[in-house]
């Protein structure tokens, strides 16, 4: 919710553009992403593979490949992150902003016991001693509700299940009480029942600490349960953004509508054919000059292919007063 | 396949069990074992689909591998058209296998990157081909299988890396279809695909079922996919069947707490049930 008494938002991203080197030349991977987030707010980024959602997260964390060209602005508490020297970024990463990755097995170091990995940010950013950091690690493991936490301090990642490893990842991310937590598909590798527990845990911790949460997922149903506001990405741009209930009730962009229609849902009759979006996600190199979705869109006209779409207001305001914005000049047509 | 009023039972699984011997924990102690699957019975009629659901480690994939005769059971039988696939000799099994084919989860790992689509798709029939079948006949059948799944004849001479994930899964389906099987065992066929592409592949699988009276044994963790594709469903927990029956019934009136938990854990279930009430 936009808080007028606090003019400096937690995170303000303006016209973020990222160009990546590929075998076929430079590819425009992010094409002007803007977002604003206050403390305590939860925002979801949704889209299919290659839409730029993970890249947005990496850009925020300053973890892009070295040759990537970044333009635009990322302000964390009003501090510019684009172009910030690496040593300074290191001070922020893990301390003011932290990230939970998709695959806890590869994100954790298999050679260190888990307490050491939780203690690492504490020792680095808060200059704790070994004993103090280990005691804090135990508190954190208790907080993420890892069963038998005391015995597990000395466990290695392979001795834990996927859900338990993800809890360890979360405790590492939370170690220094960051202001911004980025979770990139945190539960995609987990079973549905475990997924539900881990998501509930993240939600609870975010509420308790008043962090900002940027949740990245391809799962629409998950977004509905987890975040205040959803941003739909396609071809490196945000095509629609609105408060979650508003987006679920009035989807405006043809791509958002297509995504909703294509999803198999409980309650559909056996054999129902799903409504598909024709074609497939375009390669970054092959994006048209205009709207990236134009080639798959049923509403597309010639202008769509040549002119980048302007952001339009859908007019309906969500309960929270969040604007509902859509990047499509023809959204009213259906 | 000619449609008949009484559908014969295509696949029957009787009290199937699989125990794995685990590595010894001590040098002299007895090796421990893991009962990955126990006492699973099911039957599947021609033209019908059965969904196997459960969490990781529940034995879903073990069951699929046993049905495909890729693994030997420690107890029980798998009968395909009345023939026990695990008692069949190598050459008999090779012929039986043309009746049941498999589609795997990972469209990147399941296609050999060094083979062209032509040899990938025709692999199941190469061993069965008679000397009289020339290369052109193989190519013709491969082209037919590709057009079945919405790909073009020109794609036969390409390599897997030239295709997207959804197209690769179409190639995997074409490879399964080329023997004209009665049963396709699909282990998480769409879980690696994006939502918009997943819908295309699911629709294709349903169209093929209508056209050829195929049966699917569909292994999936995604209850919504099983609900859409399957007539019957079997819920596995730690290798045991906790619930089985018509999908429409189980998804609305699950009796076992585990099944209910699985259903309620699906994100966005709230609106799913609202939609159910509307229809």
Q: Does A71 contact B at CB distance below 8 Å?
A: no
- Answer yes or no: is A146 within a domain: yes
Q: Which residues pair with A212 in a beta bridge?
A: A180
In this prediction, residue A319 carries a pLDDT of 55
Residue spans per domain, chain B: 9-22+34-278
The candidate with the shortest Cα–Cα distance to B78, out of B16, B18, B20, is B16
The candidate with the shortest Cα–Cα distance to A323, out of A254, A237, A252, is A252
Query: Average of pLDDT values for A75-102?
Result: 92
- Answer yes or no: is A36 within a domain: yes
Q: Are A220 and A151 in a shared domain?
A: no
Q: End of a domain among A156, A177, A198?
A: A177
Nearest-by-Cβ selection for B262 from A193, A265, A276: A193
Residues of chain B that touch chain A, judged by Cβ-Cβ distance less than 8 Å: 55-56, 164-167, 194-200, 202-203, 206, 221-225, 227-231, 247-248, 251, 261-263, 265-273, 275-276, 279
> In total, how many domains does chain A have?
2
Residue B72 has pLDDT above 60, yes or no: yes
Residue B257 has pLDDT above 60, yes or no: yes
Fill in the DSSP letter of residue A331: G
Provide the total of helices (H) and of strands (E) in chain B, helices listed first: 10, 10
Choose the CATH number for B9-22+34-278 among 3.90.850.10, 3.40.50.300, 3.90.550.10, 3.30.1360.170.
3.40.50.300
* B26 Cβ neighbours under 8 A, 6+ residues apart: none
Q: Are A219 and A295 in a shared domain?
A: yes
In this prediction, residue B273 carries a pLDDT of 42
Q: End of a domain among A158, A177, A196?
A: A177
**Domain with A52 in it:** 11-96+178-265+272-333
Q: Are A157 and A185 in a shared domain?
A: no
* B249 Cβ neighbours under 8 A, 6+ residues apart: none
Dump the DSSP string for A251-311.
--SHHHHHHHHHS--TTPPTTPPPP--SS-PPPGGG--SS-TTGGG-SS--HHHHHSPPPP
- Answer yes or no: is A155 within a domain: yes
Contact list, A196 vs chain B (CB under 8 Å): 265, 267
Q: Are A198 and A278 in a shared domain?
A: yes
CA distance B274 to B17: 39
Residue A322 has pLDDT above 80, yes or no: no
Contact list, A259 vs chain B (CB under 8 Å): 195-196
Cβ(B80)–Cβ(B185) below 8 Å: no
- Answer yes or no: is A83 within a domain: yes
Query: Average of pLDDT values for A167-193?
Result: 90
Q: Are A217 and A81 in a shared domain?
A: yes
In this prediction, residue A321 carries a pLDDT of 66
Helix (H, G, I), strand (E, B) or coil at B177: helix
Question: Residue B193: which pLDDT band, with cuts at 50, 70 and 90?
Answer: confident
CA distance B176 to B181: 7
Query: Average of pLDDT values for A108-115?
Result: 94
Nearest-by-Cβ selection for B275 from A191, A265, A276: A265
Query: Average of pLDDT values for B213-228?
Result: 92
Query: Average of pLDDT values for A311-332?
Result: 80
Q: Which residues pair with B37 in a beta bridge?
A: B18
Cβ(A163)–Cβ(A198) below 8 Å: yes
Fill in the DSSP letter of residue B160: G
Interface list for A 182-201 with B (CB within 8 A): 191-196, 199
Considering only residues B83 and A322, tell me which one the structure prediction assigns the higher pLDDT: B83
Query: Average of pLDDT values for A105-112?
Result: 89
Kindly give the pairing relationship between strand B215-219 and strand B49-53: parallel
For residue B224 the two structure tokens come to: 């919504």
* A171 Cβ neighbours under 8 A, 6+ residues apart: A118, A137, A140, A141, A143, A144, A146
Nearest-by-Cβ selection for B55 from A193, A267, A280: A193
Strands (E) in chain A, as ranges, are: 11-22, 25-37, 42-46, 69-76, 79-80, 97-100, 180-184, 212-217, 229-234, 237-243, 312-313, 325-326
Nearest-by-Cβ selection for B265 from A192, A275, A276: A192
In this prediction, residue B264 carries a pLDDT of 84
Nearest-by-Cβ selection for B199 from A192, A196, A276: A276
pLDDT tens string A212-265: 999 999 888 888 889 999 999 999 999 999 999 999 988 999 999 999 999 888
- Answer yes or no: is A245 within a domain: yes
In this prediction, residue B270 carries a pLDDT of 52
Q: A108-126 as b/e, with b when 16 or more CB fall inside 10 Å? A: beeeebbbbbbbbbbbbbe
In this prediction, residue A6 carries a pLDDT of 54
Query: Average of pLDDT values for B109-127?
Result: 91
Q: What is the pLDDT of chain A when averaged over all its residues?
A: 89
Contact list, B223 vs chain A (CB under 8 Å): 192, 266
State the pTM of this model.
0.85
Cβ(B92)–Cβ(B145) below 8 Å: no
pLDDT tens string B5-19: 566 899 999 999 999
In this prediction, residue A316 carries a pLDDT of 58
- Answer yes or no: is A212 within a domain: yes
Q: Contact A248/B231, CB-based, under 8 Å? A: no
Which range of A271-280, B208-217, B270-279 scores highest in mean pLDDT? It is B208-217
* A56 Cβ neighbours under 8 A, 6+ residues apart: A13, A16, A30, A33, A45, A216, A233
Q: End of a domain among A143, A177, A211?
A: A177
Contact list, A272 vs chain B (CB under 8 Å): 228
Residue B164 has pLDDT above 60, yes or no: yes
Q: What is the CATH number of the domain that holds A31?
A: 3.40.50.300
Q: Are A46 and A92 in a shared domain?
A: yes
Contact list, A280 vs chain B (CB under 8 Å): 164, 166-167, 196-197
The candidate with the shortest Cα–Cα distance to A135, out of A153, A160, A114, is A153
Q: Does A328 contact B at CB distance below 8 Å?
A: no
- Answer yes or no: is A2 within a domain: no
Q: Are A149 and A212 in a shared domain?
A: no
Q: Does A221 contact B at CB distance below 8 Å?
A: yes
Q: Are A115 and A81 in a shared domain?
A: no
Residue A40 has pLDDT above 50, yes or no: yes
């Amino acid at each position: 919710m936009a808080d007028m008494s606090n003019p400096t938002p937690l995170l303000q991203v303006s016209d973020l553009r990222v160009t990546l080197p590929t075998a076929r030349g430079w590819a425009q991977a992010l094409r002007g992403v803007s977002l604003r987030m206050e403390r305590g707010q939860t925002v979801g980024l949704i889209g299919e593979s290659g839409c730029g959602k993970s890249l947005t997260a990496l850009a925020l964390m300053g973890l892009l490949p070295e040759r990537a060209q970044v333009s635009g602005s990322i302000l964390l508490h009003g501090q510019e992150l684009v172009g910030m020297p690496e040593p300074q970024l290191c001070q922020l990463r893990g301390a003011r902003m932290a990230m939970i990755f998709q695959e806890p097995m590869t994100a954790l170091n298999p050679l260190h016991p888990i307490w050491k990995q939780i203690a690492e940010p504490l020792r680095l950013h808060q200059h704790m001693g070994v004993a103090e950091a280990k005691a804090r690690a135990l508190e954190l493991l208790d907080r993420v509700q890892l069963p038998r936490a005391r015995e597990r301090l000395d466990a290695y990642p392979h001795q834990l299940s996927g859900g338990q490893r993800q809890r360890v990842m979360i405790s590492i991310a939370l170690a220094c009480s960051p202001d911004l937590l980025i979770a990139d598909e945190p539960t995609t590798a987990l079973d549905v029942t475990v997924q539900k527990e881990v998501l509930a845990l993240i939600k609870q911790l975010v509420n308790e600490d008043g962090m900002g949460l940027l949740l990245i997922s391809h799962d629409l149903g998950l977004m509905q349960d987890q975040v205040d506001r959803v941003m739909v990405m396609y071809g490196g741009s945000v095509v629609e953004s609105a408060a979650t209930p508003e987006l679920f009730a009035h989807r405006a962009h043809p791509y958002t509508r297509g995504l909703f229609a294509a999803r198999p849902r409980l309650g559909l009759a056996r054999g129902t054919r799903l409504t598909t979006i024709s074609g497939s996600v375009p390669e970054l190199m092959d994006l048209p000059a205009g709207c990236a979705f134009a080639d798959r869109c049923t509403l597309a006209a010639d202008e769509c292919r040549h002119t980048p779409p302007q952001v339009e207001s859908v007019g309906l305001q969500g309960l929270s007063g969040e604007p509902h914005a859509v990047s499509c000049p023809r959204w009213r047509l259906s | 396949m000619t449609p008949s009023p009484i559908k014969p039972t295509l696949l029957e699984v009787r009290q199937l069990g699989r125990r794995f011997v685990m590595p010894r924990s001590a040098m002299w102690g007895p090796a421990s074992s893991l009962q990955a699957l126990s006492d699973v019975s099911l039957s599947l009629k021609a033209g019908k689909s059965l969904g196997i659901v459960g969490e990781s480690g529940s034995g879903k994939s073990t069951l699929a591998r046993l049905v495909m005769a890729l693994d030997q059971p420690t107890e029980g039988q798998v009968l395909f058209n009345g023939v026990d696939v695990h008692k069949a000799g190598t050459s008999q099994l090779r012929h039986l296998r043309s009746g049941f084919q498999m589609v795997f989860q990972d469209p990147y790992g399941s296609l050999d990157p060094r083979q062209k689509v032509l040899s990938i798709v025709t692999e199941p029939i190469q061993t069965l081909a008679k000397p009289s079948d020339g290369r052109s006949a193989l190519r013709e059948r491969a082209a037919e299988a590709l057009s079945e799944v919405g790909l073009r004849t020109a794609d036969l001479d390409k390599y897997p890396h030239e295709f997207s994930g959804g197209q690769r899964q179409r190639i995997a389906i074409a490879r399964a279809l080329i023997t004209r099987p009665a049963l396709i065992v699909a282990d998480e066929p769409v879980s690696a695909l994006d939502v918009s592409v997943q819908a295309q592949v699911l629709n294709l699988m349903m169209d093929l079922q209508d056209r050829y009276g195929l049966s699917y044994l569909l292994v999936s963790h995604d209850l919504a996919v099983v609900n859409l594709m399957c007539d019957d469903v079997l819920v596995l927990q730690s290798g045991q069947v906790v619930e089985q029956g018509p999908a429409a019934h189980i998804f609305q009136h699950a009796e076992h707490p585990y099944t209910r938990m699985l259903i309620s854990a699906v994100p966005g279930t709230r609106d799913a049930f609202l939609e159910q009430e509307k229809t």
